[in-house]
Structure 1
Amino acid sequence: MNKFIPRKIQKKLNKIIAQKQVTIITGMRRVGKTTLLKHYFEKIPSKNKLQLNLEDVLTRKIFAEINYKNIARALQQEGINTKKKSYIFIDEIQFIRNMPSIIKYLYDEYDIKFVVSGSSSFYLKNHFSESLAGRKIIVDLYPLTFKEFLDFKGIDKKYNKEFSGKNATRSEISAEKYNDLYKEYINFGGFPEVVLADDIEIKNELLKDIMNSYFQIDVATLADFKDIGKIRDLLILLTQRIGKKINISNIANALNIKRDKVYEYLAFLQSTYVIKMIPQKSSIDNRISADNKFYFTDTGLARLLAGVSEGSKFENSVFMNLVYDYEITYYQTRSGGEIDFILDNSIGLEVKLNPCRQDLAILKKRTDSAGISEYYLVGLQYSELDKTIMAWDL
């Protein structure tokens, strides 16, 4: 049996799963949702529990009844005693459109703890918001951070929580140990099965399979797009614009589609966890807009789609190492200069492959303009420059 490797999100999940509310784990296909569900299911001491995967067509028949009382009876036939506290774990719930209302009925009528997962936040967050107001807690799961990447490779690394500590503890010895590993992380991303594969060809084949599955399952079943090829063209176009503001008009012209369709496609890509938007510091609105910057949720997929510059891949990887722990925005001066990331409105980070003193001086001016007192460069090439953190120490 494969050994379970803990995930960063579990500190949050451990608290949430203990609550009565429906626990919803969302994230892109094959980021580890099923593994997490299985882990928590096995930890439930009660025998009055059931685990279901709705990718199985036969399993979906349990929830095909119009009369929800009959669904309760079907669950009883599967071994659930609805007269007692019970636990039902359901994987890939987006395959049944009315699942939110089914869960609402069962949640209200019986003492059932639901832990469910799905691959589309658009479906889960919108439909569950309508049906389960006050009855749900949603958790996003992403591909592995670099710390998780090391865990999956069996490499133990200590981390400083404070940025001042990250800045102070860097060393050339650490650089020799982790630089090549971080470059592997940049190029192949953080899907667990890709990280665990030893052969480069196998890693690339797995990434191709993940992308093909996305188009064949998520795009084909969750979207109502007549021209799926435009989604692929958009993704290829986006690989050249990682970390940049979204220019809707330019994208529309390049793809020969209307602006409204660009908004629709981008919203779908974000809701299915292929890309993630961050707003400008002055705005709290994270909807698709011309002020948003975007990143891919996995650098391996971005590289697979098209040639991506080393700087863009590196900046994207840094973003994904921060996404669990911070509210992330970016800052732009009136003259157009940017600070790549503002964390919790209090820490400024500028990402550079090879940090230099001029980069630090520019960052200082921009953080002063933004009213940010704590700031650092994040580098890949080892540097002893003041206020510089190596990416593997994030």
Structure 2
Amino acid sequence: MTRNTYFQSIEAFKDKQVIKVLTGIRRCGKSVLMEQFMQSLLERGVSERQITYIRLDDLDNELLLEYHNLYAFIKSALLEDRMNYVFIDEVQLCKDFQKPVETLFNCKNVDLYLTGSNADLLSGELATLLSGRYVTIDMLPFSFCEYLECIKENNFPAQTTEENYYDYVKFGSMPFTVQLKKNTESVYQYLNGVYNTIIVKDIARRHQIKDVAVLEAVIKFMFQNCGNFCTSKKISDTLTSSGRKTSQPTVENYMHFLEECFLVYRVERYDVRGK
């Protein structure tokens, strides 16, 4: 299924001298959207030699996690007399990725597209180095309208809108869960796998968190209090009173890490003044 809103956002910047950065939680459809855009380029007459696609989370591309190797590989594939379309998936896995990105950006015949699952890394390092030279397209899992459209395309048995909404709330909005529709155990296994990947790879390993149990306790508290006022002090006090001692600064760091990975979103209170 083509997600037209996001697809049109990419299309609007095609061949423009600006880096296109797709961000969003793991498994929300960034790679699929990128592949669909590449397919549309081929259908419009762009040759396969003009397209370079690299998935940095693929073990076959492990050597490209070193930025010199990444740049050399891409440079060797570029055609001098044509526009080259370069797609790098999960770019944040390459340490110092901003260095080859900056050099490629300065090539007049390179149209550069990136995806990443970490908001802070992309916005922080890219913003510093390439200020004003990139745009972000923030992707979310399926909206309810997209969920219904996907069900229709897959020819699932007809249900009322209320029944579909119940499934949407119960099973979540990750695109792949639609393929597992009605298989409760499979859906929960899949979502648990995504959750654990975010906790282990994107947070615990990257930030070298040793006591993952405290991190998960913070997550559980936040998930159980959706829609309520939630402060780091309240969380730290609650965890400490239940026998899991932690400090307010630690909780604040964990909350920030969760925001980085798009697992939660901050909603600021509108009525709090400067003090």
| Length-normalised TM-score, structure 2 | 0.85
Shift of 1:184: 1.0
Structure 2 residue 36 is matched with structure 1 residue 39: yes
Q: 1:284 to 1:94 in 2, by over 3 A?
A: farther
- Structure-to-structure mapping, 1:105-254, within 5 angstroms: 105-154=103-152, 177-198=160-181, 199-254=183-238
- Structure-to-structure mapping, 1:223-372, within 5 angstroms: 223-255=207-239, 256-282=245-271
C-alpha distance in 2 between matches for 1:72 and 1:92: 15
Structure 2 residue 19 is matched with structure 1 residue 22: yes
* Counterpart in the other structure of 1:90: 88
Q: 1:284 to 1:213 in 2, by over 3 A?
A: farther
| Aligned positions, number | 259
Q: Which amino acid aligns with 2:168?
A: Y
Q: 1:9 to 1:259 in 2, by over 3 A?
A: same
On the 8 A contact 2:64/2:94 being kept in 1, the answer is no
Aligned partner of 1:61 among 60, 63, 70? 63
C-alpha distance in 2 between matches for 1:59 and 1:90: 11
Greater percentage in helix:
2
Shift of 1:145: 0.5
C-alpha distance in 2 between matches for 1:260 and 1:185: 36
Shift of 1:12: 2.5
Q: 1:8 to 1:283 in 2, by over 3 A?
A: farther
Pairwise CA RMSD: 2.4
Q: Which runs of 5+ in 1 are unaligned?
A: 156-175, 286-394
1:323-367 Cα offsets, whole Å, 9 max, x none, are: xxxxxxxxxxxxxxxxxxxxxxxxxxxxxxxxxxxxxxxxxxxxx
Q: 1:65 to 1:143 in 2, by over 3 A?
A: closer
Q: 1:5 to 1:43 in 2, by over 3 A?
A: closer
Q: Which amino acid aligns with 2:109?
A: D
Q: Secondary structure at the match of 1:277?
A: coil
On the 8 A contact 2:56/2:64 being kept in 1, the answer is no
Which structure 1 residue ranges, 4+ long, deviate > 4 Å from structure 2? 70-73, 282-285
Q: 1:132 to 1:213 in 2, by over 3 A?
A: same
| Length-normalised TM-score, structure 1 | 0.61
On the 8 A contact 2:67/2:100 being kept in 1, the answer is no
* Counterpart in the other structure of 1:51: 53
Q: 1:229 to 1:212 in 2, by over 3 A?
A: same
Q: Which runs of 5+ in 2 are unaligned?
A: 154-158, 240-244
On the 8 A contact 2:67/2:99 being kept in 1, the answer is no
1:123-169 Cα offsets, whole Å, 9 max, x none, are: 111111111111100111111100011011017xxxxxxxxxxxxxx
Greater percentage in strand:
1
